[in-house]
Amino acid sequence: MSRVHELVGAGQPFRVSPPIVMTEELLAQCGGRPPVWADPVALADETEADRVRERRLYVGLLAAITVVVLLYLARAALLG
Amino acid sequence: MNELLAASGTDVAGTGRTVLTWLLLALVGVGAIPVVAGLAQFLVIPLHAVRNHYRETGPYLPNVAVVIPAWNEAAVLTTSIERLMGLDYPPDRLRIYVVDDASTDDTPAVLARCAARFPGRVVHLRRDKGGEGKAHTLNHGLREILADDWMEALLIMDADVIYEPASLRKMTRHLADPTVGAVTAYIREGSGDPQGITRFIGFDYLAAQAASRRAQNVAGAMACLAGGAQLHTRENLLAIGGQIDTSSLAEDTVTTFRTQLAGRRVVFEPHARVLAEEPAGIDALWKQRLRWARGNVQITSMYRHLFFRRSVHPGLGGIFFGIFWFAILLLPVAMLLTSVGLTGLYLLDSELAAEVFGAAVFVPIATFVFMITLTISVDPRTGFRVWREALLFPGAISFVVLLAAAFPGVVPLSGAAETFWTLFVYSWLVLCIPLAYGVRKLEGTRWGRPLAPLALYLVGFGPMMCAITVDAYVKEFRGAAMTWDKTEKTGRVTV
């Protein structure tokens, strides 16, 4: 059963689930390779990758600003 | 404008004309609010790169009960269950409960086969009396699931949706933060080969789910958990009464509001991807979206004490959320006001109308550009697949009108042609709504059916959504019956 923990030094309480026990049978079910969910570090890496991936929103913003500025300049040039 | 100010107060007729002019200007100004709100929303989205919930997540893998309401879903259930069983999640922490709403097709037999294949992990719950809607079906399942202590988190999904393997654990990581009550995922249109309307839905989902919900994450208030992907903690379900609302057509939105009003956060996880089958015809789409739109009208009435009152809830009662909510709900009204304002101004003072239109037109153009580029940037793979529908989302006619407004004088017009074109541009904002209704009717005729997709591209998907909102106002005003029109599912979704 999961528990809510108060860790000294942590900014907030957090929930933890019981650790995964990888049995031979479970490993076989996963095709012989340890799954991501069995490794807390791999899960943290996955989250970090998703967090960093959000930076591509800046590309969208940059593209939007560029197109709007170009349209504005084209319009201004056309209208004299 | 100077002449307008100078003329004020000269005589009664002049005063009346001045008052009318200011009134018409006010109509244009009020009508522009949703466009400005839309621009603000898209400007907020990039902030999600820094203002998100990832730093409060943790490797949390609770016991998850998946509840699937099903009525005659034999065509899609096996694939959905197989996909759920293939999720990259600890197998002993995942159970599936299919609540069969007295199906009359092969659903019971399909479920019996699945239960035999995955013993102890697929549970078939059957209602004897069905047809009361999704909320009643879910509640039947909830009573059974909550009676057992095993479930720590509950995933509510639809029978036709398919979760990408990593999606569930990407959702559960947010529940490591005890302040989070529910998490929703990014649902996208999942047809392997989208055509016509499903391509528009593809872009619509990209804008409304992947893009808009990021803005809601930033604002700290979520409008709606996706019906096909909502993960709740057990504590949250108990705090909101352990049941789903059955009094409205928008049970997902009520659940979302209740969660937040009970003091818990609702988070959107953009990297948990879920594919859904969407209507392939205009009429089916209309019925589905009408249900959603009517639900939103009902929610507005139910929670009227909440909007623009931060003392009730800092997020849902905030200005950003209030403007965002009403900008969508009242968009058809805004379009009507702008159109009336501009047309009236033209009849009163054509030069002033041209001045106002010329000064203001760049705002919708900028909003349109921001909408397309930021929406595509949140999921470039899907976005580039539907870029034509993105450009034609407001309709080919509206696109030409926007281009003509952005670059006036490219096509020189004079005399009657100019008058006709100007009046057409000013009135198109409201004319497109009945025309969108006509597109639906066209699809219903034998001769018009092949022409309906072309008509949809001309009139646009956006105006169709506005027409559906108008239909929702009318149906709610008349107190029309709240029927649950189930979208037909055929199993088109492919990964």
What pLDDT does B326 receive? 94
Under an 8 A CB cutoff, do A14 and B173 touch?
no
Q: What are phi and psi of B186, to 5 degrees?
A: -90, 105
Residue A72 lies in a domain: no
Residues 6+ apart with CB under 8 A from B86: B165
**Total domain count for chain A?**
1
User: If pLDDT is split at 50, 70 and 90, which confidence band does B493 have?
Assistant: low
Q: Is the dihedral of CA B445, B432, B19, B352 positive or negative?
A: negative
Integer Cα distance of B388 and B421 in angstroms: 26
Task: Provide mean pLDDT across the span B244-266.
Answer: 94
Q: Which domain holds residue A22?
A: 1-38
Q: Any chain A CB within 8 A of the CB of B173?
A: yes
What pLDDT does B360 receive? 85
Integer Cα distance of B210 and B45 in angstroms: 10
User: If pLDDT is split at 50, 70 and 90, which confidence band does B404 have?
Assistant: confident
Q: How many CB pairs under 8 A join A and B?
A: 125
Task: State how far the alpha carbon of B363 is from the alpha carbons of B146, B275, B357, B406, in Å.
Answer: 50, 34, 10, 10
- The domain locations on chain B are 2-32+328-478, 53-311
Beta strands (DSSP E) in B63-140 are: 64-70, 94-100, 122-126
What pLDDT does B13 receive? 83
What pLDDT does A46 receive? 96
Q: What are phi and psi of A3, to 5 degrees?
A: -135, 155
The Cα of A8 is separated from the nearest Cα of chain B by a number of Å equal to 16
Q: Any chain A CB within 8 A of the CB of B150?
A: no
Integer Cα distance of A50 and B185 in angstroms: 14
Q: Any chain B CB within 8 A of the CB of A73?
A: no
User: If pLDDT is split at 50, 70 and 90, which confidence band does B359 have?
Assistant: confident
Digit-coded pLDDT (tens) for B306-350: 999 999 999 999 999 999 999 999 999 999 999 999 999 999 988
Under an 8 A CB cutoff, do A20 and B62 touch?
no
A29, A36, A59: residue with CB nearest B377: A59
Q: Is the pLDDT of residue B128 over 90?
A: no
Question: B-contacting residues of A 4-23, CB under 8 Å?
Answer: 4, 12-17, 20
Question: Contact, B46 vs B120, CB < 8 A?
Answer: no
Q: Residues B53-311: name the CATH superfamily.
A: Spore Coat Polysaccharide Biosynthesis Protein SpsA; Chain A (3.90.550.10)
Q: What is the residue-averaged pLDDT of chain B?
A: 90
Residue A14 lies in a domain: yes
3-class state of residue B273 by DSSP: strand
Task: Provide mean pLDDT across the span A31-55.
Answer: 93
Integer Cα distance of B329 and B182 in angstroms: 24
What pLDDT does B99 receive? 94
Residue A49 lies in a domain: no
As for the ipTM of the complex, it is 0.89
Over its C-alpha atoms, chain A yields an Rg (Å, rounded) of 24
Q: Is the pLDDT of residue B357 over 80?
A: yes
What pLDDT does B393 receive? 94
Sequence-ordered alpha helix ranges (H) in B349-414: 350-360, 362-378, 380-385, 387-391, 396-406
User: If pLDDT is split at 50, 70 and 90, which confidence band does B489 have?
Assistant: low
What pLDDT does B54 receive? 95
Q: What are phi and psi of B429, to 5 degrees?
A: -55, -35
Which two structure tokens, joined as six digits, stand for B224? 């709606």
Digit-coded pLDDT (tens) for B32-91: 999 999 999 999 999 999 999 999 999 999 999 999 999 888 888 898 899 999 999 999
The Cα of A61 is separated from the nearest Cα of chain B by a number of Å equal to 6
Helix (H) or strand (E) holding A48: helix A40-53
Digit-coded pLDDT (tens) for B449-460: 899 999 999 999
The Cα of B152 is separated from the nearest Cα of chain A by a number of Å equal to 8
Cβ neighbours of B42 in A, within 8 Å: 64
Which two structure tokens, joined as six digits, stand for B358? 């010329």
Q: Any chain B CB within 8 A of the CB of A67?
A: yes
Integer Cα distance of B71 and B3 in angstroms: 66
Residue A60 lies in a domain: no
Q: Is the pLDDT of residue B279 over 70?
A: yes
3-class state of residue B63 by DSSP: coil
What pLDDT does B289 receive? 93
User: If pLDDT is split at 50, 70 and 90, which confidence band does A56 have?
Assistant: very high
